[in-house]
Structures are given as structure tokens and as C-alpha cells.
Amino acid sequence: MNPNLTRIDQLFPRPKIDDVPAAVAEALAPLADRLQPGESIALAVGSRGIANIAVIVKATVDFVKARGAVPFIIPAMGSHGGATPLGQAEVLAGYGITAETVGCPIRSSLETVELTPPDARCRVYMDRFAYESDGVILINRIKLHTDFHGTWESGLVKLSVIGLGKHRQALEIHASGVYGLRHLIPWTAGQILGTGKVRFGLALVENAYDETMLVRGLGAETIMDEEPGLLDVARKNMPRLPVDDIDVLILDRMGKDISGSGLDPNIIGRNYIRDEPEPERPRIKAITVHDLTPASHGNAVGLGLADVITRRLFDKIDLDATNENTVTSSFLIRGKIPVIAPDDATAYAWALRSCGRMDAGEVRVVRVRDTLRLAEAWVSQPILHELAGRQDVQVADSTFPAFNGPNLRPWED
């Protein structure tokens, strides 16, 4: 069965910053007096595929240098990059962040200093390079977390804990499952921010088109109070699938630069975490994933959220890196390997078979590049009919069979 799919364009709100370096400089200007000439300043940079991240880091480096301080970058990551110094530096390099491109050294290490206070709720760690610096600047995107929902999810608060605390802190937090994420991260962030080591943070929010829409500088003392409001902005501007009821969702790719879990549970409506409720929508019977992004460096964490993958994707998996990230998270079901199909068309056929018997004209299919970029989608006729009259959807004059023989047809860029 080779369904005919029609292209649609979803019209999300699109607030956007055109001059990102200027926006960074403006956001940081009120915080300039927190840096002094000659100080060694660590810029904590995470491992997500943040829009314009190399440009943003370079602009922050320039800001620090303009104050006469001496910046360097640390990979603010837990188990990513295979939990090795070289692997984490390579992750940053994959995002265009090297000593040459941003104009300062990269100091990658998993060595930490323990800062656990008496009567602590958990152990507290900080990257040794960050601890031995004169001050730290946090740089991260604010967005919904892929494992839970709460007051603080994915952002500067999380980066100050699992990012600055490296693999040891990630293991410490994740050992308590979702409780650790929801409760121990904010407590630990309070300990880290309370040391006075963090000077300020640069908070980023993106629109539904994966574009920078907001840049805000936050003093360390305001991060925990200000971040929830920015999370609400991110929530209101996140993309979504065009409908809630789908038989087969075709995802061209997954990856760590797409989502911390490879494919975003907030988009696909699957959590697969013990004792955490499953989202009410969307309701998707089967998900196929067909490739792994190069920026993932073989890390296919979140693979278990899919039902069928292709041999092409499977052959790109670095099991050591994937297992390290999966085991550290403690959510093992997300690391299970789905059914492996020899090609794209077979992956779809097997997924469709799992949906139960139905006529060809009834099948509800959606195809998107990944769970981050949802503005352009391809849908089958039943969904196209449902979308008729929607003001937030434009139908393009493009309809063709989903597959060229065994392969997905290429996107029309």
C-alpha cells in the first residue's frame, strides 16, 4: 500500500529575532558590571540542537571579552557524547562550536568537585573547570521537558544541575526517576546558584519554526523566579501535529539535536515512563522512524518510543553511546529496539498492519521531517478532508505517492 500524500503548511505564530548577535548584546548589557577585567569566565553550553547556538555563543564570548574578562567554554552535559570528554567536545563541534569558530578555548572534562552540604537531599557536584573559574555564565533554551512537567523543566535551572554537574550529577538525579527531575533538580539548582559561582544566565526561547524568538539575560538570583514565565512562553509557541488521531506517523529522522529523547514525547503523545501518565493526545497507533541525524553521533536514545525503524537507522546506532544515555536516564523502555524493517516502504507496511484491517481510502497518515519541524507536513486524504476550512492550514498543490519503490520520496525543498 503506497498512500497518496498531500503537502500542507501549518501557519503557527512566528515572532522572530532577525539580528541575533545584537539581541544577545542587548540582553546581556544590564549584567555587564557582573564581569571584571582579567576574570576567568566559564560559559556552560549544552548539547541540544538550539537554533543559532554557535552565533549566540560567539556573541556571548565577544561580550565577555569586551569587559576585559577571559572566557572559555565547558560542555554542560551529563551522559551525552558517550559521557567522555572527547565525545562531549565533539558534540559541541557538531553544532559549530569550536575554539576557532567562537574565539575561546573549549575545556572538556568529566571531573567534578563535590559541594554536598550537610543534611543534603542528594549529592551535589560541579564541573571542576567551572568551579575553579571566577564565574559561570549559563546558556540554554527554555522548553518543555521530554520526561515530565513541572514548574521548571528544560532550561537554565536544569543546566545548572545536570549540565554543570556532568555525568556524576546526572546519575545522582536520575537514580530517583521522575522524582529526581521534578524535585531534586530545583533543590540542587538552589544549592548551585547559592554558591555565588554563577554570575548570570542567557535564556533562549524558540518559536514553532525552530527560530530564536526571545533572548533574555537573567541574574543568577532571578533565574528560578523568571524561568517558569519563559517556560509558559515556550509552551504557547511550540509546534504540534495537524490532527490528534493518526494511524501511522512517518518521521523521516530522529536525533539528540531534535529532542533530548530523540523524538519529542510532547509531540507524539508517548511517555513510556513508569508511574507517569501518558498524554491524552495525539492518539497515534503506529510510528515509523527512518533515519538518525548526523549530529546525534550515533546516540539513538528514545528509540523505544517508535514502533518500526529502518535498517538504515539501525546501522547508524552507536550502542555504547545510546546505552550510556538511556541507562543514565533510568527510563529503559525508551532504549528498546523496535522492529527493524529493510527499507522505508516495508517499515510503513508493517506499521500499517499493526493498526488493524481498514480500506486504503480510510488510512490516516502524517509524514513530517522530525518532531521539531512540523510546519510542513504531508497527509493522506482522510486527514486532508478533516483540515478543510482550517484557517491555520494551507494546502499546497502537491500530491504524490509516499514511496519511490522501497524509499520515501525526497522532500521538495
Domain ranges of the chain: 4-12+240-408, 35-236
pTM here?
A: 0.89
The span from the CA of 174 to the CA of 328, in Å, is 6
Average pLDDT over residues 21-36: 98
Q: Which three cell numbers stand for residue 351?
A: 506499521
Angstrom distances, CA of residue 281 to CA of 12, 167, 396: 19, 33, 26
What pLDDT band is residue 360 in, cutting at 50, 70 and 90? confident
pLDDT band at 27 (very low <50, low <70, confident <90, very high): very high
Task: Give pLDDT, residue 413.
Answer: 55
Smallest Cα–Cα separation from 379: which of 367, 390, 395? 367
Task: Tell me the torsion sign for CA atoms 399, 405, 406, 407.
Answer: negative
The alpha carbon of residue 315 and the mean position of all alpha carbons in its chain are separated, in whole angstroms, by 23
**Which of 225, 221, 227, 85 lies closest to 153, judged by CA?**
227
* pLDDT tens for each residue of 65-123: 999 999 999 999 988 788 899 999 999 999 999 999 999 999 999 999 999 999 899 99
161 touches 189 (CB < 8 A): yes
Q: In whole numbers, what is the pLDDT of the chain averaged over residues?
A: 94
Mean pLDDT of 17-27: 98
For domain 35-236, the CATH class is: alpha beta
194-214 pLDDT, tens digit per residue, is 999 999 999 999 999 999 999
Q: What is the pLDDT of residues 235-285, one digit of tens each?
A: 999 999 999 999 999 999 999 889 989 999 999 999 999 888 899 999 999
DSSP string for 108-131:
----EEE-PPTT-SS--EEEHHHH
Strands 198-206 and 135-141, how do they pair?
parallel
Per-residue pLDDT at 83: 82
Q: DSSP letters of 136-166? A: EEEEEE-B--SS--SSS-BSHHHIIIIIHHH
> Strand 70-75 and strand 112-114: pairing?
unpaired
pLDDT band for position 18 (50/70/90)?
Answer: very high
Enumerate the β-bridge partners of residue 212: 206
